[in-house]
């Protein structure tokens, strides 16, 4: 494949360069013998999007899906411009979590790559459960979490952990086997910083389900903003106000870009408004979001390309930085060195998007999907 006349995203400079891009054997290359030509006609060519936190979409629930449903789900992700996913399991009986992990590992993926698994629960705080079932929350014991990480291997593992609930040294032990993200946590800022020193490297859906930032009790949210760790954000205008996103973006890009866009999408993402249930949790989906009857948010119906549009339109985030935050930066956070940039030798996952940030072409492993 050759893609001509494109404004190509350069991850090293976070800018655009007018050049042609070639693919060969599923990788980005310096030339190609393939006759397939895509004329971008001055449109943007960007890396495929990477969602490190999602529970499903189009009616398919990752925690409950069998291998065939997961294969279908990977296509639904790809249709939305996401080429790499960390399917996310939430608090549930341990046997259900382990069965879901096995199904994800064994699914024959034809769409977006399942490059790893995010275990968002059960190792969280009962004081900050969000919509997670408090009765099923477990103490974050190092040996048990490491066993789960080994179960996930050879896929990459990411764990959301409330560090204040863990024993001394547990974060350090787990970080040798998995990426550790601080979230669903009522920790103090000091406890969060200590967890970072022990090996945690990110924050799960920053501001949501964590101790808040106040001027005398800074909480986990303050550690997320003031540290150089990666921080996830759900940018749907519901989970976090856009003015706060604007502030967070400035904080997380002051030295290095550590601002990460996620969807935290629920299985009902892409479906019409109505009443639904997720993992036994009844909720209503309408224009105000997906909420339990008591007002608790259960997740978003966001797509990642819409998150890019939102931060550009409402938060004054430059397009180049928004693209990086949905592709290059999450790859760095998740340790995916073989993708997320348009450079020779890397996997040819790319999108052609127009000036309205609408997806016109989807390229997965050097083959045109759309």
8 A C-beta contact, residue 171 and residue 195: yes
- Pull the structure tokens for residue 135: 């009765």
Strands (E), 30-128: 37-39, 44-47, 49-54, 56-57, 60-61, 82-89, 113-114, 116-119
Q: For residue range 267-315, list pLDDT tens digits in order.
A: 999 999 999 988 778 899 998 889 988 988 888 999 999 999 999 999 9
- Pull the structure tokens for residue 251: 């904080």
Looking at the predicted structure, is the pLDDT value of residue 14 above 90?
no
Distance (Å) of CA 196 to CA 161, 162, 250 = 12, 12, 21
Give the rounded distance of the alpha carbon of 346 from its chain centre.
20
One-character DSSP codes across 18-29: EEEEEEETTEEE
Q: For residue range 320-344, list pLDDT tens digits in order.
A: 999 999 999 999 999 999 999 999 9
Looking at the predicted structure, is the pLDDT value of residue 32 above 90?
no
Instruction: Give me the pLDDT at residue 67, please.
Output: 94
pLDDT bracket for residue 34 (50, 70, 90): low
Looking at the predicted structure, is the pLDDT value of residue 65 above 80?
yes
Which fold, 49-338? TIM Barrel (3.20.20)
Give span(s): CATH 3.20.20.140, the chain: 49-338
* Radius of gyration of the chain from its Cα atoms, rounded to whole angstroms: 20
Phi, psi of 347 (to 5 degrees): -60, 135
Give percent of the chain above pLDDT 70: 99
More confident residue, 295 or 165: 165
pLDDT bracket for residue 142 (50, 70, 90): very high
pLDDT bracket for residue 36 (50, 70, 90): confident
One-character DSSP codes across 201-262: -EESSTTTTBPPP-SS--HHHHHHHHSSSEEEEE-SSSSS-HHHHHHHHHHHTSSS--EEEE
């Amino acid at each position: 494949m050759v893609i001509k006349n494109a404004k190509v995203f350069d991850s090293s400079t976070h800018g655009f360069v007018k050049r042609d891009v070639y693919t060969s054997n599923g990788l980005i290359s310096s030339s190609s013998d393939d006759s397939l030509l895509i004329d971008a006609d001055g449109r943007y060519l960007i890396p495929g999007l990477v969602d490190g936190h999602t529970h499903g979409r189009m009616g398919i629930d990752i925690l409950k899906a069998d291998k065939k449903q997961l294969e279908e789900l990977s296509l639904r992700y790809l249709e939305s411009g996401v080429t790499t996913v960390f399917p996310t399991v939430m608090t549930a009986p341990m046997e259900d979590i382990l069965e879901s992990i096995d199904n994800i590992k064994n699914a024959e993926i034809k769409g977006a790559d399942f490059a790893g698994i995010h275990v968002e629960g059960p190792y969280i705080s009962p004081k900050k459960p969000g919509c997670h079932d408090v009765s099923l929350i477990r103490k974050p014991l190092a040996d048990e979490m490491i066993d789960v990480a080994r179960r996930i291997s050879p896929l990459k593992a990411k764990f959301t952990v409330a560090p204040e609930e863990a024993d001394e040294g547990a974060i350090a032990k787990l970080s040798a086997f998995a990426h550790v993200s601080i979230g669903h946590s009522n920790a103090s800022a000091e406890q969060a910083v200590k967890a970072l020193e022990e090996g945690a490297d990110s924050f799960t859906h920053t501001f949501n389900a964590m101790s808040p930032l106040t001027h005398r009790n800074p909480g986990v949210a303050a550690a997320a903003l003031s540290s150089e760790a990666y921080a996830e954000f759900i940018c749907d205008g519901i989970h976090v106000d856009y003015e706060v996103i604007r502030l967070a973006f400035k904080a997380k890009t002051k030295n290095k870009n550590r601002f990460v866009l996620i969807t935290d999408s629920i299985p009902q993402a892409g479906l019409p408004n109505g009443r639904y249930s997720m993992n036994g949790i009844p909720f209503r989906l309408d224009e105000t979001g997906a909420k339990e009857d008591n007002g608790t948010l259960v997740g978003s119906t966001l797509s990642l390309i819409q998150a890019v549009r939102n931060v550009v339109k409402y938060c004054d985030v430059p397009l180049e930085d928004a693209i990086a935050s949905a592709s290059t930066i999450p790859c760095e956070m998740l340790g995916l060195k073989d993708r997320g940039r348009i450079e020779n030798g890397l996997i040819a996952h790319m999108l052609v998007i127009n000036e309205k940030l609408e997806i016109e072409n989807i390229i997965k492993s050097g083959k045109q999907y759309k």
